[in-house]
Amino acid sequence: MKILNICPTSLRDKHGISSWFRYYFQGLIESEHQHELYFLSLTSVHSVDHHHGIEKEFNDKFFHFSIQWVWEQVEEVLNHQEWDVIHYHSTITTFKKVDFEIKFFNKILELKENGTKIITTNHSLQKQDNVYEYPLIDLPSQGALFYQTFGGYLESIHHNDMMSKLSDVNVYISENDRNVSQNLGDVYENTKVIYNSINIYKEYGSKDDYKRMNLAYCHRWAMRKNWMVLKELVIENQDKSFYLSGDYFNPLVHAELMNNKNVSFHGILNESGMKEINEVCDVMLCPALYEPFGLTAIESVVWGTIPIIYKHTGTYEVLGDSSFYFDENTSISECVENFYSTPNEEIKDRLKEQQNHLSKFSKLSKMVDEYLSLYNEVVQ
Element (H, E) at 243: strand 241-245
Q: Identify which of 343, 283, 338, 287 has the alpha carbon closest to the alpha carbon of residue 316.
A: 287
238: helix, strand or coil: coil
* CATH C-level class of 2-197+363-379: alpha beta
DSSP 8-state assignment for residue 55: H
- Quote the pLDDT of residue 65: 61
Q: Which residues contact 50 (CB under 8 A, 6 or more apart)?
A: none
* Ranges in the chain annotated CATH 3.40.50.2000: 2-197+363-379, 214-361
* DSSP one-letter string for 101-165: HHHHHHHHHHHHHTT-EEEEEESS-HHHHHHHHSTT--GGGSHHHHHHHHHHHHHHHHHHHHHHH
- Amino acid letter for position 207: K
DSSP state of 200: -
Residues forming a β-bridge with 6: 40, 88
What pLDDT sits at residue 214? 95
Please check the confidence at residue 230 and state whether its pLDDT lies above 80.
yes
Which of 28-32, 59-63, 115-119, 297-301 is the least confident region? Answer: 59-63
pLDDT score for 124: 75
Minimum mean pLDDT range among 80-89, 109-118, 147-156, 263-272 = 147-156
- Domain 214-361 superfamily per CATH: Glycogen Phosphorylase B; (3.40.50.2000)
Q: Are 225 and 247 in contact (CB under 8 A)?
A: no
User: How confident is the model over 122-142, as a mean pLDDT?
Assistant: 50
pLDDT (0 to 100) of residue 93: 58
Q: What percent of the chain has pLDDT over 90?
A: 32
pLDDT digits (tens, 9 = 90+) for 190-217: 899 998 887 666 678 899 999 999 999 9
Residue 201: what pLDDT? 63
pLDDT digits (tens, 9 = 90+) for 34-64: 888 888 775 544 433 333 333 334 455 566 5
Name the least confident of 289-303, 323-337, 365-379.
Answer: 289-303
Q: Are 367 and 197 in contact (CB under 8 A)?
A: yes
Between 296 and 12, residue with greater pLDDT? 296
- Percentage of the chain exceeding pLDDT 70: 76
Looking at this protein, which amino acid is placed at residue 202? K
pLDDT band at 138 (very low <50, low <70, confident <90, very high): very low
pLDDT tens digit sequence for 143-195: 333 333 444 444 445 556 778 888 999 999 888 888 877 777 666 778 999 98
Q: What are phi and psi of 15, to 5 degrees?
A: -75, 165
- Ranked by mean pLDDT, the top range of 109-123, 209-223, 310-324 is 109-123
Buried b / exposed e along 56-89 (16+ C-beta atoms within 10 A): eebeebbebbebeeebeebeebbeeeebbbbbbb
Do strands 214-218 and 85-90 pair parallel, antiparallel, or not at all (unpaired)?
A: unpaired
The number of beta carbons lying within 10 Å of the beta carbon of residue 155 is 18
Beta bridge mates, 273: none
Helix (H) or strand (E) holding 7: strand 2-7
Smallest Cα–Cα separation from 81: which of 29, 38, 35? 38
